Amino acid sequence: METKKVIRLNNDFTNAKLQEKIAPAPKRKHLGIILVVAMLLFSLASMSLVQSYENLQKQKGLEQQAIQQNTQLASDAKIKSAEIQKLKDPNFVLKYARSRYDYSNPGEKIFETPDSPVTGGLSQ
């Protein structure tokens, strides 16, 4: 059998390959731990972000409810102030007492119709 002789070239590439065989690259012992810690930190940050977003959505919902309630209360206040102005008028009070409480002067005859009762413009 014939043995083959391999001649190595003396250049930078072959020298680098020889160095890799002789002394392999240093192993990164702590790289896995660093990656796990980084993933843990990112997951904690993302959980905090999600909680903040959920809190923001809840606050927006509460704000919408407060706006609706404020609008409703403002319209109720407007209606009540209109009723107060009506009750300051003596003629209206007299008409309201006649329709609501069947008030009548002595000697008057009251005739009721089967239609809806008259409230005099005030809410029940």
Report pLDDT digits (tens) over 70-122: 999 999 999 999 999 999 999 998 888 888 887 788 888 777 777 755 555 55
Task: Let me know: does 122 contact 96? Beta carbons within 8 Å.
Answer: yes
Q: Check pLDDT > 60 for residue 124.
A: no
**Distance (Å, rounded) from C-alpha 93 to C-alpha 8?**
119
Q: What is the pTM of this model?
A: 0.49
